Amino acid sequence: MSPPAADAVPGDAPRPPRFWSPAALDARAARGGFVGRVLDLIGPRLDPEAPEAEERPHPGWMAILSVGVALSLLMLAQAHHEGYRDRPNALLQWTAYGVMFFPVALRAGRHGTARAERIFLVALVGMAALAAKWLHSPTRFVFFDEFLHVASALDILERKRLYTTNPLLPISPAYPGLELATTALVELTGLPLFAAGYVVLAVARFLLVVGVYCLLERVTRSARVAAVACLVYMGNSGFVLFDAQFAYESLALTFFVLALLAASTRRDAAASPFAAYALTLLPLAALATTHHMSAYFTAGFFALLAALSRFSRAGAPDRRFLLVVAVAAVALPVAWSRLQGGSGDGYLGPILEKGSTELANLLSGTGRSRQLFSTMSGAQSPIEIRVFSIVALLVVVGGLLTGFFRAIAQSVRPERGWAAIFRFLRLQWSDHWLLLLALTAVGFPVSVGFRLTGAGWEIGNRMGPFVFLGAGFVIAVAMTRLWQPAGASPRRRAATAAALSVCFLGGIATGWGNPSTRTGYRVAADAASVEPMGIDAALWARDWIGPGGRFTADRINRVLLATYGRQTVVTTLLDKVDTSFVLLAPRLTGGEIGALREGYVDYVMVDMRMTTGLPRYGYYVEKGEYQEDPLSPVEADNLLKFNLYPGIDRLFDNGSHIVFGTGGLRRAR
């Protein structure tokens, strides 16, 4: 039976429903045919869900799945072992990720699995994903962004004070949350920075996974939806690498999720008002001092939530609470940024402005999209990366299409069918938390749009972990209500788990890509360029020149010199001096010598391995650098030009790295 039209008024003469009325749409969906089937598929039909069975946790399954996850880690370690020897084994690596995720998705997404078992399984695979990143580089931080924060943490440890200068990322010392947590552990326990950093990352990851689960469970009141949403969340492009790095967003994301979870306790009065305020404002304050962009995204979340609660027809008991929290979520990061001299604005402003302009141009047809599936040097991504990325995108889009109206309908209960959607369009809903999650999923296509632009991909990348909170919920609704309802056949359950697994693999492929496969040394390829020879050269500088020498070098050796070498590297970001021409130009003219003087550069480190290949990330030193021929590596003569100038010393040589002393030339008149 079709539900009555929402806009029917008692006493009116019965009239045939208009074809766009809720009743007509419901009837059309029920009648079948192509349009009817599409309407039924993407529509808001919510069949009554079978109550979740009260099964006991099954320790046997938990043990078996733990063995499977551990086996996947062993396979990954073997794949990296071969990769070190420049025999990258992509097949073994991707199989390992599949073995890690698929059985867990099958069990955790099953109707009837016990709540405790679901929590165990999502926490297991969440921690395994962090372990996978650790296996890639188990003895040191190697990712570019990690070095930026290692430099800030080392400054705190050595100088015992905050707000020192970090030429690699000048904004980093103004947001010291991650570094404070890590250096506190180093000071208290005596752990090395790398180990303390991983303790913080492990705690942050565990809290993130448990937090996402508990938030979704509290909001949806379904352990199954929460577990599936958690698994979908792990398919966001930042989960395995970007948000597992020793970088401020990794901790900020945890504060964001826990702040939402704490706020959600006011929804059903699980906590007293005072406790809810304290538990929500504490992570918000910590977040404001940890990461600028995450703090602003969080402010947007709470502002939207407060606005949605304003219109909730069921009368939101947490309306005033959410308003106060939203004001705090906006005020805290703005106030912190002002306290730090507006450093966040100067850093974020250009990124947002340029990214938005490029997205607008792309949408209006006047701009071109970024070339996908190729490195900046033009090398094409392997086929598996492209396949996983595209299929995962299709799965997510399919999940959003089939789940969005269903998720909206859940927030407008007790109306059912299309009447719920019409009610939503009249700004009348009953559950602003569910609606927040559903609307957040709309951010997914926006983030994909940003990722297509050259300047905005970074915004799209940062948006991923936030919008996937909503996307996870919407796709979980689609899965539990349509793809795999209670009593689904084993084949259907396997297909759904396979779809979730493809999401997970696609997230890794999109976020980490080809470099997730370990290889030997590659030129200007971030983690693939960090190896003992460069580290030893930086350590030589620390031991024999002493900390604080003013250096210029290529992108990779800069971060090694700043962290392992404790040298002061001259950068455009901080010193406003572009020294890339000093390194790459064929001769030293007045401009290059002027840059040496302006930047007080006493040492130049050249890495002759740069002559063996094009830079994997598009440039050797920084964007806009000198390029003689974009299709050929830099000439050895260009790097060795320093040999020809009488005032320049040649201080160090290891066959690849040469340190030239330019102090004499710089000071000569």
Partner 1 sequence: MRAKPSPRALAAAGAGLALAATALLPDGHGLRAAACLPLALYWPGVAFLHAVGRPRDASLEWEAMAVMASVALLVPGGLLLNRLGMLGALGWACWLAGATGALLAASLLRPAPRRAAPRPGRPRALPRPLVLGGFLLALGLAGGAAVIAVDDGLHWREFRFTEFWMLPDVPEQPGAVLIGARNAEARPMVYAIAVMQDGLPIASWRGIALEPGASATRDLPLVVRPGTPSRVEAWLFDSDNPGTVYRKVWLNIGAPGA
Pick from 185, 523, 553, 634 the residue near partner 1 by CB under 8 A: 185
First to last CA, the chain: 93
Restricting to residues 287-306, which ones interact with partner 1 according to CB under 8 A?
A: 289-290
Span near partner 1 by CB under 8 A; candidates 174-182, 365-373, 425-433, 504-512: 174-182
Q: Which is nearer to partner 1, 521 or 600 (CB)?
A: 521
Q: Which is nearer to partner 1, 138 or 350 (CB)?
A: 138
Is residue 360 near partner 1 by the rule CB under 8 A?
Answer: no
Pick from 32, 33, 378, 520 the residue near partner 1 by CB under 8 A: 520
Closest CB 373 distance from partner 1, rounded Å? 27
**How far apart, in Å, are the Cα atoms of 20 and each of 8, 401, 402, 488, 616?**
14, 19, 20, 33, 54
Span near partner 1 by CB under 8 A; candidates 185-193, 305-313, 353-361, 493-501: 185-193
Residue 416, number of CB atoms within 10 A of its CB: 17
Closest CB 56 distance from partner 1, rounded Å? 9
Amino acid type, 521: Y
Pick from 457, 540, 581, 626 the residue near partner 1 by CB under 8 A: 540
Pick from 536, 576, 624, 632 the residue near partner 1 by CB under 8 A: 536
Span near partner 1 by CB under 8 A; candidates 101-109, 197-205, 238-246, 391-399: 197-205
Pick from 9, 11, 19, 160 the residue near partner 1 by CB under 8 A: 160
Span near partner 1 by CB under 8 A; candidates 272-280, 320-328, 391-399, 446-454: 272-280
Restricting to residues 125-154, which ones interact with partner 1 according to CB under 8 A?
A: 131, 134-135, 137-140
Q: Which is nearer to partner 1, 119 or 482 (CB)?
A: 119
Question: Total residues contacting partner 1 (rule CB under 8 A)?
Answer: 104
Q: Which is nearer to partner 1, 39 or 207 (CB)?
A: 207
Restricting to residues 246-265, which ones interact with partner 1 according to CB under 8 A?
A: 251, 254-255, 258, 261-262
Is residue 375 near partner 1 by the rule CB under 8 A?
Answer: no
Q: Is the distance from CB of 135 to CB of 127 less than 8 angstroms?
A: no
Restricting to residues 206-235, which ones interact with partner 1 according to CB under 8 A?
A: 206-207, 210-211, 214, 218
Residue 369, both tokens: 């999209």
Restricting to residues 637-656, which ones interact with partner 1 according to CB under 8 A?
A: 646-656
- Measured between alpha carbons, how far is 410 from 413 in angstroms, rounded to an integer? 6
Is residue 181 near partner 1 by the rule CB under 8 A?
Answer: yes
Span near partner 1 by CB under 8 A; candidates 38-46, 205-213, 444-452, 481-489: 205-213
* DSSP state, residue 658: E
Taking CA 588 as the corner, what is the angle to CA 583 and CA 592, rounded to the nearest 5 degrees? 70
Is residue 166 near partner 1 by the rule CB under 8 A?
Answer: no
Span near partner 1 by CB under 8 A; candidates 177-185, 291-299, 354-362, 568-576: 177-185
Pick from 3, 81, 370, 387 the residue near partner 1 by CB under 8 A: 81
Span near partner 1 by CB under 8 A; candidates 102-110, 308-316, 530-538, 579-587: 530-538
- Per-residue burial over 203-222, b = 16 or more CB atoms within 10 Å of its CB, e = otherwise: ebbebbbbbbbbbbbbbbeb
**How far apart, in Å, are the Cα atoms of 557 and each of 18, 207, 548, 609, 650?**
69, 35, 15, 12, 17
Pick from 203, 334, 360, 446 the residue near partner 1 by CB under 8 A: 203
Restricting to residues 51-80, which ones interact with partner 1 according to CB under 8 A?
A: 59-60, 62-64, 66-67, 69-71, 73-74, 76-78, 80
Adjacent-strand bridge partners of 214: none
Residue 438, both tokens: 């559903």
Q: Residue 94's closest CA among 363, 487, 385, 346?
A: 385
Q: Residue 21's closest CA among 549, 417, 507, 475?
A: 417
Pick from 17, 167, 513, 661 the residue near partner 1 by CB under 8 A: 661
Q: Residue ranges of the alpha helices (H) in 85-176?
A: 90-108, 115-136, 144-159
- Measured between alpha carbons, how far is 232 from 545 in angstroms, rounded to an integer? 51
Q: Residue 480's closest CA among 224, 103, 212, 106?
A: 224
Residue 15, both tokens: 């009239």
Closest CB 552 distance from partner 1, rounded Å? 18
Q: Which is nearer to partner 1, 31 or 159 (CB)?
A: 159
Q: Which is nearer to partner 1, 89 or 510 (CB)?
A: 89
Pick from 283, 333, 472, 515 the residue near partner 1 by CB under 8 A: 283
Pairing of β 603-607 and β 657-661: antiparallel
Is residue 317 near partner 1 by the rule CB under 8 A?
Answer: no
Q: Which is nearer to partner 1, 452 or 658 (CB)?
A: 658
- Measured between alpha carbons, how far is 263 from 107 in angstroms, rounded to an integer? 30
At which residue do the structure tokens 């009447």 appear?
419
Closest CB 248 distance from partner 1, rounded Å? 12
**How far apart, in Å, are the Cα atoms of 185 and each of 58, 149, 244, 275?**
37, 15, 18, 27
Closest CB 255 distance from partner 1, rounded Å? 7
Adjacent-strand bridge partners of 604: 552, 660
Q: Is the distance from CB of 135 to CB of 80 less than 8 angstroms?
A: yes
State whether residue 195 is helix, strand or coil. helix
Q: Which is nearer to partner 1, 23 or 79 (CB)?
A: 79
Closest CB 247 distance from partner 1, rounded Å? 16
Restricting to residues 86-105, which ones interact with partner 1 according to CB under 8 A?
A: 86
- Measured between alpha carbons, how far is 576 from 303 in angstroms, rounded to an integer? 37
The dihedral formed by the CA atoms of 572, 574, 575 and 578, expressed in degrees to the nearest 10:
0
Angle between helices 432-440 and 193-220 (to 10 degrees): 120
Span near partner 1 by CB under 8 A; candidates 21-29, 220-228, 633-641, 660-668: 660-668
Please classify residue 397 by burial: count the beta carbons closer than 10 Å to its beta carbon, then call 0-12 exposed, 13-18 middle and 19+ buried: middle
Pick from 55, 345, 384, 531 the residue near partner 1 by CB under 8 A: 531
Is residue 335 near partner 1 by the rule CB under 8 A?
Answer: no
Is residue 550 near partner 1 by the rule CB under 8 A?
Answer: no
**How far apart, in Å, are the Cα atoms of 89 and each of 94, 233, 502?**
9, 27, 19
CA 8, chain centre distance (Å) = 47
Restricting to residues 560-599, which ones interact with partner 1 according to CB under 8 A?
A: none
Pairing of β 649-653 and β 550-552: unpaired
Closest CB 196 distance from partner 1, rounded Å? 10
- Measured between alpha carbons, how far is 571 from 563 in angstroms, rounded to an integer? 15
Residue 567, both tokens: 């040298």
Pick from 231, 253, 537, 614 the residue near partner 1 by CB under 8 A: 537
